[in-house]
Structure 1
Amino acid sequence: MSDEEIVLLDEAGAAIGTAPKAASHHRATPYHLAFSCYLVDDAGRVLITQRAHDKATFPSVWTNSCCGHPAPGEGLRDAVLRRLGDELGVWPGAEGFTLLLPEFSYRAEMDNGVTEFERCPVVRVRVGPAEAGALRPNPSEVAAAEWRTWDECLDLAGRPEASAWYRLQVAQLTSLGTPADWPGAPVSLLPPALSW
């Protein structure tokens, strides 16, 4: 984490600079670019992960499949693919991507004051049986990973062990139907700082 740079944003989602990731997450975290990804298998199940217990931000919470921060100049698909490899040891084909919530943003604070403050577009990535069965979670990122039905995902969203962003995202995704049927959103709604 210490060598990564995050993209800082203005209120409209335009890039206004960069900053070191590790040093930027604190009580006054600046607004910055991120993403959330939901892996969906052929049965319509969603991969839910528990963040590693020693992560600096929101350790041990249960959440979506993968999260991350696009590097300066990195497109959304490339950032998602990079993090899926880093966190879960899987590299799905780029053709299985769907942009779901391009305008999602949130602010969440830990008990110790460490804060996330992100413009965080949400994507779905479909994976076939070979990819779904070949996950190799990185223990420094992921404590556990489980394929769950959408009903089980909805149940998790009502529990305190779920991440704040997961609860907010699920509330919006529910209106889109079931994971296999989630429709794509216009790429034009992505923040100006991020290409598809």
Structure 2
Amino acid sequence: MTPNNHIILVNEQDEALATMEKLEAHQKGLLHRAFSVFIINSRQEMLLHQRASHKYHSGGLWTNACCSHPMPGEEVEQAAHRRLQEEMGFDCPLQKLFTFTYHATFDNGLIEHEYDHVFLGTFDGSMAPNAEEVEAHGFFALPDISALIRDTPERFTYWFKMAYPTVLEHLGQR
């Protein structure tokens, strides 16, 4: 296995304990370091993307601009910039907002147990989403997103629904 297939296992204080192959960590449901990037534009609309259907979990669901795991030896913010470029085809300044921990079991038996670092950026330029990662994308008004989550929560990823209300608070929208 190459190092980029490994993720960082952590304790409840986000202290690194070990590394493990990503799929194995998700099969065992072990707590690991992750990040989620939220992007707004100058009109206070949020960038959402629909995950590619073939993703190992949550395929076809709508979520924030990007999310992933830092590689061993990689700082979380550095990883967030890397993945934003790899998934959405752009980069922008990011501000760390908060962290949270969650545990979710998916229909395919995989388990997300993440210590998630949440970042926010503002971007108005063009993007080139990676078709291997993204089926659809767009900027959406915050009230519309809130209504969609309320009315059709099954269309969104678990972590997005958990983080979104706190992101709104940071944007002064709650």
Q: TM-score, normalised by structure 2?
A: 0.90
Q: Is the 8 A contact 2:57 2:108 kept in 1?
A: no
Matched, 1:163 2:157: yes
Match of 1:126 among 79, 97, 122: 122
* Aligned twin of 1:193: none
Query: Structure 1: which 5+ residue stretches go unaligned?
Result: 183-196
Where 1:35 maps in the other structure, the secondary structure is: strand
Aligned length: 171
CA distance in 2, matches of 1:67, 1:39: 12
CA distance in 1, matches of 2:63, 2:14: 24
What is the correspondence of 1:14-163 to structure 2 with a 5 Å cutoff?
14-26=15-27, 28-92=28-92, 96-101=93-98, 103-127=99-123, 129=124, 131=125, 134-158=126-150, 159=152, 160-163=154-157
Matched to 1:138, the amino acid is N
Query: Structure 2: which 5+ residue stretches go unaligned?
Result: none
CA distance in 1, matches of 2:38, 2:105: 22
CA distance in 1, matches of 2:168, 2:137: 22
| Structure 1 residues 110-161: Cα deviation after superposition (integer angstroms, max 9, x where no partner) | 122211110001110111x3x2xx2111111111111001112212322211
Q: TM-score, normalised by structure 1?
A: 0.80
- Report sequence identity in percent: 29
CA distance in 1, matches of 2:104, 2:144: 23
Q: Which is richer in strand?
A: 2
CA distance in 2, matches of 1:91, 1:176: 21
CA distance in 2, matches of 1:20, 1:172: 30
CA distance in 1, matches of 2:143, 2:83: 26
Shift in Å, 1:178: 4.0
